[in-house]
Amino acid sequence: MIEFFIQTTWLIPFYGLVGGIFTLPWSIGIIQRTGPLPAAYWNLLMTLGAWIHGLVVFSAIWNQPPQQLSINWFQMADLDLSFALQISSLSVGAMALVTGLSLLAQLFALGYMEKDYALARFFALMGFFEGAMSGLALSDSLLLSYCFLELLTLSTYLLVGFWYAQPLVVKASRDAFLTKRVGDILLLMGVIALSTLVGSTNFTDLYQWAKTANVPPIEATLICVALLAGPTGKCAQFPLHLWLDEAMEAPAPASVLRNSLVVSCGAYVLIQLQPILAISPIAKEILVTIGTLTAIGSCLVAIAQIDIKRALSHSTSAYMGLVFIAVGIQWTNFALILILAHAIAKALLFMSIGCVITTTNSQDLTEMGGLGKTMPITASAFVVGTAGLIGLFPLGGFWAMEGGIDHFWLDAPWLVGVLLLVNGLTAFNLSRVFRLVFLGSSQVKTRCAPEVGWQMALPMVGLIVTTLSTPAILQSLNILPYWMSLNQIGVILLVVSSVLGCSLGSTMVLQRIWLRPMGKTARFWHNLLADDFYIDQIYRVSVVFAVTQFSKFTDWFDRSIVDRLVNLVGITTILGSQGLKYSTNGKSQFYVLTILLGVSILTTFISWKFLQIN
């Protein structure tokens, strides 16, 4: 029986896809009398089956050699494009994480979306979301990974634009889609270039090629930069980071998956690309630069946000920036542990603020306060999620950060400072949000806010237990280091940065009116951070302006030059045909004479050319 589950591992991504397809009768209104709940239950059942299937396979193949499964798609001459899958402890573990968090997010959505008329459509999109991420976890082909990334881009567009009756939602979904498309198109260029050079897009073949690749430095850099563009867009890294902020217009359950798993999928692909990126030292430096700028910049931007979802989404970009740094330094173990700890903790944090939003009908931090008294489960979830994300001993975030500090301590000491700064700023930001939302006096919208129902509380409690159990999970997988081998100075600095950030965020006097400062200097710095260093405005006066002017020029050239040339050809043809019709008199002698004259001229011309050659 176990062997059957292993042999059918490739079917796990289809659970979510089938669940999404089977909800279509309710989504498009064919079935109306039962309401949309049966569609939600069907999708939940399929996700539960995928999770159980993945856990069975993971327990059976732990520490076993990877198994390869290849499906030939297109083969011609030296080009072999196949869909390759890898069944290994890492890929199946990642897939189990995807299906597990997707199951909890869908349970959460039962309560959050309970009164939404388009509940069936939402669960259909969540099923496609889950299927694409599960397939990406199993993929052992760059071409197949690109296809799944495209499915994620489409799913993001549809989920962000779920409430399409709101103009702001439509704009957010369009901007998120177009921003991701920039990275996807560049990634496709890199896939095509590699398939041309290697003759295959399977990661195994690409790794063998990268070991002995003899590519000119400029060409290698261009290929690697193109490959970086896709993960940069998916992980919301500078300069393709603005979409994650706007994607917060989506329903909270979709934001749970997007901030925990979707960005992690981009990081997962980046880790798979790491041996290929090693052929270009410049690409590795670009990775470290992008990661550092995004990690520090996003943490600073997060502390100036008054929208509760945006305050947390920017910390997602910051942690993915640390993953970029780890891949650039070629320390993927740190990146994998950080992805795991971040995904679990961030899902819990977004569930917590989703409960706050559905209870208060507000996302504005200035309108909240005192919710800890009436929503103790939600407040506990936020505290545990914060502790699991930052470097507080002994939860997952601590072990992830400690691994990075231990590795960077000698090789790149300045990166230790980056890790400590990001950890401290994240602790400060999350403590600030907790204090404004759950502590203090109650506001108008929070005075009568009750605790959420069991549909939303149950997955939160499950994630609380999972977050607290993360160290035990890491220990069972033999990932945690021995206590005696730890860098004690690094551990102390990490804990101090966490405690210092939490202390400042919890005790700093921060009146609600100060969230929008009136002083010129304070308002300048607040606006600078709140508006993301004016990156959006810079894009408008640079990239958008250049594209607009180029579009106007091409429009003028098309209308004034191309259209007139085409019209000239048409007029010439009409006038010529009108003139030729008068030479048609019906006399065969005239036609024969015309043919003879034409043949004579052509013969004379050919003879003259022949004599010139000789």
Question: Model confidence over 84-94: pLDDT tens digits?
Answer: 888 888 888 88
Lowest mean pLDDT among 149-153, 317-321, 581-585: 581-585
Over residues 151-158, mean pLDDT:
86
**Residue 508 DSSP class:** S
Tokens 């990126």 correspond to what residue?
277
Residue 382 pLDDT grade (very low, low, confident, very high; cuts 50, 70, 90): very high
Q: Which two tokens stand for residue 177?
A: 């889609």
- Counting residues of the chain whose pLDDT is more than 70, the rounded percentage is 93
**Does 137 have pLDDT greater than 70?**
yes
Determine contact, residues 370/440, Cβ cutoff 8 Å.
yes
Lowest mean pLDDT among 77-86, 485-494, 527-536: 77-86
**Does 515 have pLDDT greater than 70?**
no
Residue 605 pLDDT grade (very low, low, confident, very high; cuts 50, 70, 90): confident
Query: Burial of 275 by CB count in 10 Å (0-12 exposed, 13-18 middle, 19+ buried)?
Result: middle
Over residues 571-600, mean pLDDT:
72
**Does 545 have pLDDT greater than 80?**
yes
Q: What's the CA gap between 448 and 94, in Å, rounded?
A: 41
The DSSP element (H or E) to which 243 belongs, if any, is helix 242-246
Residue 237 pLDDT grade (very low, low, confident, very high; cuts 50, 70, 90): confident
Tokens 């290698």 correspond to what residue?
220
Q: Which tens digit of pLDDT belongs to each residue from 551-583?
A: 889 988 888 888 888 888 888 888 776 666 666
State the average pLDDT for the chain: 83
**Does 454 have pLDDT greater than 80?**
yes
At CA 188, angle to CA 187 and CA 192, rounded to 5? 120
pLDDT value for 251: 85
Determine contact, residues 276/207, Cβ cutoff 8 Å.
yes
pLDDT value for 587: 66
| Phi, psi of 555, rounded to the nearest 5 degrees | -65, -45
**Does 514 have pLDDT greater than 70?**
no
User: So where are the chain's domains?
Assistant: 141-530, 541-613
Q: Which tens digit of pLDDT belongs to each residue from 174-208?
A: 888 888 888 888 888 888 888 888 877 888 888 88
Determine contact, residues 280/272, Cβ cutoff 8 Å.
no
pLDDT value for 234: 85
Q: What's the CA gap between 459 and 456, in Å, rounded?
A: 6
**Does 359 have pLDDT greater than 80?**
yes
What is the C-alpha end-to-end distance of the chain, expressed in Å?
A: 85
Residue type, 402: E
pLDDT value for 512: 54
Determine contact, residues 148/91, Cβ cutoff 8 Å.
no
pLDDT value for 284: 87
Sign of CA dihedral 11, 17, 19, 22: negative
Residue 421 neighbours by CB distance under 10 Å = 16
Residue 69 neighbours by CB distance under 10 Å = 14
Residue 584 pLDDT grade (very low, low, confident, very high; cuts 50, 70, 90): low
**Does 402 have pLDDT greater than 70?**
yes
pLDDT value for 180: 84
**Does 510 have pLDDT greater than 60?**
no
Sign of CA dihedral 498, 501, 507, 512: negative
The DSSP element (H or E) to which 352 belongs, if any, is helix 332-360
pLDDT value for 384: 92
Over residues 536-540, mean pLDDT:
82
H helices of 479-519, where?
Answer: 488-507
Give the highest mean pLDDT range of 32-41, 440-449, 451-460: 451-460
**85: CB partners within 8 A, 6+ apart:** 9, 10, 68, 69, 70, 71, 138, 139, 140, 141, 144
Residue 518 pLDDT grade (very low, low, confident, very high; cuts 50, 70, 90): low
Q: What's the CA gap between 70 and 91, in Å, rounded?
A: 15
Residue 68 pairs in a beta bridge with: 86
Q: Is 85 helix (H, G, I), strand (E, B) or coil?
A: strand
**364: CB partners within 8 A, 6+ apart:** 306, 307, 308
pTM of the model: 0.86
Q: Which two tokens stand for residue 288?
A: 């470290």
Determine contact, residues 345/467, Cβ cutoff 8 Å.
yes
Q: What's the CA gap between 289 and 505, in Å, rounded?
A: 28
297 or 611: which leads in pLDDT: 297
